[in-house]
Amino acid sequence: MTAGLTLAVDAMSGDHGAEVAVPAALDVLASTPDLRLIIVGRGDVVRPLLAGADPGRCSLVEANEVVGMDERPQDALRRKKDSSMRVAINLVKRGEAAACISAGNTGALLATARFVLGMVRGIDRPAIVSAVPAAHGHTVMLDLGANPDCTAEHLVQFAVMGSVIAADLHGVDRPRVALLNIGEEDIKGTDEIREAHRRLAGAPINYRGFVEGDDIFSGDVDVVVTDGFTGNVALKTMEGLARFIGSVMREEFTAGPWRKIGALAATPALNGIKSRLDPRAYNGASMVGLAGVVIKSHGGADRAAFASAVRVAITEARNGVPDQIAGLMEQLTAAEKVQVPAG
């Protein structure tokens, strides 16, 4: 058997820990012949869950500490050097794994990964990127919370990284990239947004200009770029709206016997809507910009959702996303140098 692809799974983090992470990872292992897993966590917890797994394709690396979901990132970085999160990231740093998946504390994961792995050449800060449902399937959006305050340079870098993710992870040919703004006119927005807009006009990506919030779902663009504050507010608003719509639909379809009959007749359509909007299918946020592949699963992810995050890690690792980002940043730097008049 060839070496194939190896992933490190932080089994202890998140709301459900190993009881969800290990079975989910084994589900993906069963459907991916060239995959190998390194499960990281406490042996007494993880070992029973690996009963029956092929030892040639799935191994355990013990880590005795766990980073709490409410733990401060700096404390986790300094005091939890034997945490399942830190050990899994170390495996990526040493080249023993091509990617790490964790459902742990976002701030701690980001801080630890940045400290251990460092950054891609030309990138100042990592960003959190994920797909959200849209009319044409989905839209890639970043940053979703890692960087509340952003300069124009950061927004330009996010645009480059988002373009790579949309192309490699989602198979979009020449992804259409846009900056989220309060209007589509060139005079709208903050100084940072307008400066990023000016620079992106000459970037080696398919930049389409400004879009407003209602364009996120329109299908008119493939990548929406914004700062982490706005992106996180937008994401949480989407999640809350989805729950609200689901609640209202349940109330309306169970309000009386005739509506219940109508619900039965509409079951195929309702199931289709549920499938298209199922957040589990979009689980697995990429921490792009790091010199290694790190995927953040939602802390409350169930088995199906965590498996989705593992599949995201596989795709990013196979496509060498960090190297592709570095290459595109080099093209951007070269293009900007050409635009600067000599002397």
**What are the two backbone dihedrals, phi and then psi, of residue 211, each rounded to the nearest 5 degrees?**
-135, 155
Using CA of residue 119, residue 121, residue 127, residue 130, what is the dihedral sign?
negative
- Label residue 257 by pLDDT band (50, 70, 90): confident
Question: 230 or 342, which is more confident?
Answer: 230
1 pLDDT more than 70: no
The tens digit of pLDDT for each residue in 66-98 reads 999 899 999 999 999 999 999 999 999 999 999
Residue type, 239: E
Give the integer Cα–Cα distance in Å for 213 and 322: 29
Give the chain's domains with CATH numbers: 1-120+289-320 (3.40.718.10), 124-283 (3.40.718.10)
- Distance, in Å, from the CA atom of 93 to the CA atom of 317, rounded to the nearest integer, reads 13
Mean pLDDT of 200-206: 91
Span of 135-139, 182-186, 258-262 with lowest mean pLDDT: 258-262
Q: What is the DSSP letter of 279?
A: G
Chain center to CA of 143: 10
pLDDT at 274 over 70: no
Instruction: Classify strands 293-296 and 285-288 as parallel, antiparallel or unpaired.
Output: antiparallel
Q: Which residue has the higher pLDDT, 238 or 153?
A: 153
pTM of the model: 0.86
Q: Where are the alpha helices (DSSP H) in the chain?
A: 18-31, 43-46, 73-79, 84-93, 106-117, 152-168, 191-200, 228-253, 257-265, 267-277, 303-319, 321-339
Q: Sorting pLDDT into bands at 50, 70 and 90, what band is 2?
A: very low
Cα distance between residue 162 and residue 26, in whole Å: 29
Q: Which candidate, 3, 2, 6, 7, places its Cα nearest to that of 295?
A: 7
CA angle (215 as vertex; 211, 216 as ends), nearest 5: 105
- What digits encode the pLDDT tens for the residues 204-255? 899 999 999 989 888 899 999 999 999 999 888 888 887 787 788 778 778 7
Q: How confident is the model at residue 36 (pLDDT cuts 50, 70, 90)?
A: very high
Does residue 263 carry a pLDDT above 80?
Answer: no
- The residue that leads in pLDDT, 128 or 278, is 128
DSSP 3-state assignment of 132?
strand
- Which residues are registered as beta bridge partners of 62? 41
Tokens of 87: 């050990």
Q: How, if at all, do strands 58-62 and 35-41 pair?
A: parallel
Q: Residue 311 in contact with residue 291, Cβ under 8 Å?
A: no
pLDDT at 329 over 50: yes
Q: Which amino acid is at 195?
A: E
Lookup: tokens for 39: 């499960």
The whole-angstrom separation of Cα 207 and Cα 40 is: 41
